[in-house]
Structures are given as structure tokens and as C-alpha cells.
Amino acid sequence: MKHEKAKELFTDFLKNEKNRITPERFEVMESALDYEGHFGADDLYIVMKNLKLTVSRATVYKTLELLVQCKLISKRNFGDNLTRYESNFKRKIHDHLICVDCGRIVEFVNPKLSKLPKQISDELGFDLSSHSFNIFARCKDTKNCKYNK
Amino acid sequence: MKHEKAKELFTDFLKNEKNRITPERFEVMESALDYEGHFGADDLYIVMKNLKLTVSRATVYKTLELLVQCKLISKRNFGDNLTRYESNFKRKIHDHLICVDCGRIVEFVNPKLSKLPKQISDELGFDLSSHSFNIFARCKDTKNCKYNK
DNA sequence: ATTGCTGCAAAACGTTTGCACCTAT
DNA sequence: ATAGGTGCAAACGTTTTGCAGCAAT
């Protein structure tokens, strides 16, 4: 059965927070976890509509926030004023490099970065919640950048 | 005279890019450099209106992009889908910690971070353009967080 | 029975654009 | 003279909201 573990996690979270367990919320959860790569709330809504799933835009938006709260997905921002999400399920913490020419997003993991967010939060007297590290750059290799000039 | 050096820089940039030198652009430049802290384009527009300066919203938005291009100001994104700017004038490169409870923004400089963006870009075969490193955290000290629960 | 959720459409939000007029070159 | 900029209002795309009806508890 698909996303069995995620369903459990989400169910527990909903119960603890006195949120109701509804079929719509699980439809959104499944579609979000199935989505390859980064997606906007509306992208997901379109995909679900195409699959003839019955959800409203409002429910998609609201449920995605719940999924972020229970850490099944992450919220991202790549500098274009668009909220993007990605599944956390079975994935390592990583950061992003965005090509300023073509918008391509490359994920990377750098060990030198891993302890810094917690360390800096501590130094400043804060409790770390999350971090976002984005590098904006240009492809050196023209062939890899579809919109390279 | 105020922002003398910035005016020179902006003038040179405008000439090189075949952009025209207009009084409106310098009004926006001055107001942007005078703004304390981070501001949205609309915030700046309101401030300018209150000072009885005659600029349109469109000109403010467009000029801020020009100021980013010539590096007099930086464009920021703190995860709330709002474009914010801040003056670069006489300032060091720094990163930001955002309190998820009250929205307070703390700037910090960490030496361990300084070479990473370039290094990672090189490793991945890109030319660094810029980076954004945001830490989202909660105040440990309740007194410092005005909306702390 | 109660409280919270859903779906819809409308509103809100920051931002961008089209166009007629104006101005720097 | 002409290419480019300005200002206005309207359009835009994403996200949020109000509300009536519905469903989970």
C-alpha cells in the first residue's frame, strides 16, 4: 500500500492538532508525495483535476500548509515570489542552486553547511526551525542550459 | 552632498546600458538608499508619496530593478512571497535570521559561509551570481519577541 | 448536535503591462 | 526627431477569504 507510513504520520498529526480526518486531505497528501520535483500549490491542483480527483483549490492550499507543519513536505522559495513545495519523504536535507538564465534547479548536499544553521541560531539566541540556502548562478556549460544566450 | 558616490555609479550604469538619466530614477535611488532596513517596492512608493515626491508605482518598481542590476541595492526574499530590497551602500555581505513568531529579522555574518557559494557553484559547473541564506528560528528569550506566545 | 471542513466565487495582494503623453538624447 | 520613460489604470497570477452547505466527531 502506498505512502502507508506517511498516512500514519499525517493521521497522528491531524488528531493531535484537533484537525479532522477527511478523504480530501489524504488525496492532497498522496498527490503531493507523488509529485516529482518542486511544485506550486496550483500545479498540484491542476494535476489533481486532470486525474479527476475532486478537491477544491482552497482545500489544496490549506492542506499543503498542514503537510508542511507535520514535515511531510517542505516549503521553498526560489526568489520568484512563488511558493513551491517538495516531498520530504525518504529524502535527505539538501539545498538548491537556481540557474538565473533558465530557471533549472539543482539540488546539492554540502557537509560544511550541515551544522551551520543550528550553530548560528544558538549563537544568536534562537531555536532553529528551518533554513533556506539558495545559490543563484549561470551554467558554464552552454549545452546544459536550454535558454542560454 | 548626499549619496554622491551612488549617483556617479548609477549614472555610469545608466549610460552604459543605454538607459536614460531621469530625475525620477534619482529620486527613487535616494529614497531607497535612505530607507532603514528592508523594504518592499510598495513601502518605498508610499514613503515617497508621503514626502510629496512625484513618482508612479510603475517607475518605482522598474527603477528598483535597475538599482539591483547595478548592485546599489539587493533583492531579498524571506519566504513570504514578498520582494524586499535593502541598500548595499557601505554595507558588508550578510545573511538573515527570521523569527518565525514575530517576523523580526536579524542580520549576521559568518566566516564559515563566505566561501561556500562560490565553491559550490564551481563544483557544480556554474558561475556564481548571488546567494540567499535564511535561517528561520524562534526567540529563546521571550522578552525580545513581541509576539511570542 | 456541534464544530470544523469543503467548494465555490469573489476579493485581496503585490506586481506587471498597455497605452497615450512626455522628455532626454 | 526619435527612442525610451513616465503615469495611470487596468490586468495579472497566486493566494486568501466569506459563506452556505456538508461531514466528521
- Where do the structural domains in chain B lie, given as residue ranges? 4-87, 95-148
pLDDT given for residue A144 in this prediction = 62
Name which of B83, B37, B92, B88 is nearest B60 in CA terms: B83
**pLDDT at position A26 over 80:** yes
Pairing mode of beta strands A105-108, A95-99? antiparallel
pLDDT above 90: percentage of residues in chain A: 82
pLDDT given for residue B35 in this prediction = 96
Mean pLDDT of A34-40: 95
Q: Residues 58-77, chain A: which have Cβ under 7 A from strand C? A: 58-59, 62-63
Is A4-87's fold the same as A95-148's? no
Return the beta strands (E) in chain A as ranges: 39-40, 73-77, 83-87, 95-99, 105-108, 126-139
pLDDT given for residue A148 in this prediction = 46
pLDDT given for residue B139 in this prediction = 87
Question: A130 at the B interface (CB within 8 A)?
Answer: yes
Domain A95-148 has CATH 2.60.40.10: no
Question: A75 at the B interface (CB within 8 A)?
Answer: yes
pLDDT given for residue A63 in this prediction = 98
Q: How far is the CA of A147 from the C1' of C5 (A)?
A: 44
Q: How far is the CA of A96 from the C1' of D7 (A)?
A: 39
Interchain CB distance below 8 Å, A138 and B126: yes
User: What is the CATH class of B4-87?
Assistant: mainly alpha
Task: Measuring from the CA of residue A64 to each C1' atom, give the nucleotide at the shortest distance.
Answer: D15
Pick the range with the lowest mean pLDDT from A91-95, A118-122, B62-66.
A91-95
Provide the residue-wise pLDDT of chain B in tens; the chain has 149 residues: 789 999 999 999 999 989 999 999 999 999 999 999 999 999 999 999 999 999 999 999 999 999 999 999 999 999 899 999 999 987 889 999 999 888 889 999 999 999 999 999 999 999 999 999 999 999 887 666 654 43
Who contacts B77 (Cβ-Cβ below 8 Å, separation ≥6)? A77, A79, A81, B83, B84, B132, B134
**Residue B16 CB closer than 7 angstroms to strand C?**
no
Residue B17, CA atoms < 13 Å, CB-side half-sphere: 13
Assign 3-state DSSP to chain B and report helix, strand, coil percentages, each to 5. Answer: 40, 25, 35
pTM: 0.90
Asked if A97 contacts A135 with a C-beta cutoff of 8 angstroms, the reply is yes
